[in-house]
Amino acid sequence: MTNSFTYATGQQIHIDPYNGRLFDFNKHQSRVYLGRSINQLLNVFGDNCIIDGLKITAVDLEEKQLNDQIVNNLVVNISPGKAILDTTLIEFPNPILLEADVTSVDDSTGYFIVSIAYNYLQDTFDNKAKFKLSFIDNSGYSPHFYTEMEKIILTKIDINKSNLSANWIYSYYTNSEVLTINDKEYKLFPPDNITKNIIRSIQEVFFI
């Protein structure tokens, strides 16, 4: 299993027209919801961007015993935070843990990425974002990475199984690295528009 995902516990969707109820008289037909158009207010921050937190706090490649066999296990820890995904503000109040069995992976043929997948659905049922750990080959292709769902990439991870090491790109808003996966470009750890403007202003003052 070179790919894995988890639904972050306790995640809360804000300004959601199908969860942000104005009135509810205990009947499905009588519920009055906020309009989806209210989410357009989030455009000031941008879309598919990180508002706060969601930093990679640790990445470990370890050996562990599984069914009388020794396997290589990749473990990623992510801090709580907030993001705008598909024009929806979502809060993740708890730490997130991802892990995958990478025993069968040839570490010279590619790398791993941590992404957040979410599509807004006009439905009253729970629609949760999920964090994914996916293997991408050196040509930038993965059959398990769906560009219509994957909104944000948090980091890129290179592993070396011979010495059980894992190197990852740190969670900095100033990170300029861009990955092309399945013919779509993603900026790593993308900040919101306000943060980008602040960074640009600082760069203009001190580096130009």
Tens digit of each residue's pLDDT (9 = 90 or more) over 37-91: 556 666 777 889 999 999 999 999 999 887 888 899 999 999 999 999 988 889 9
Q: What's the confidence (pLDDT) of residue 22?
A: 43
Q: Which pLDDT score, from 0 to 100, does residue 127 have? A: 82
pLDDT at res. 5: 77
Spatial separation of the C-alpha atoms in residues 62 and 107, rounded to whole Å: 14
Q: What percent of the chain has pLDDT over 90?
A: 54
The average pLDDT across 92-111 equals: 94
Say what the pTM is. 0.81
**pLDDT band per the 50, 70, 90 thresholds, residue 32:** very low
How far from 53 is each of 4, 30, 82, 142, 160, CA to CA, in Å? 22, 37, 6, 27, 28
Mean pLDDT of 17-36: 49
Higher pLDDT, 87 or 157: 157
Looking at 25-34, 96-105, 110-119, which range is the least confident one?
Answer: 25-34
Tokens representing residue 28 in the block? 């499905």
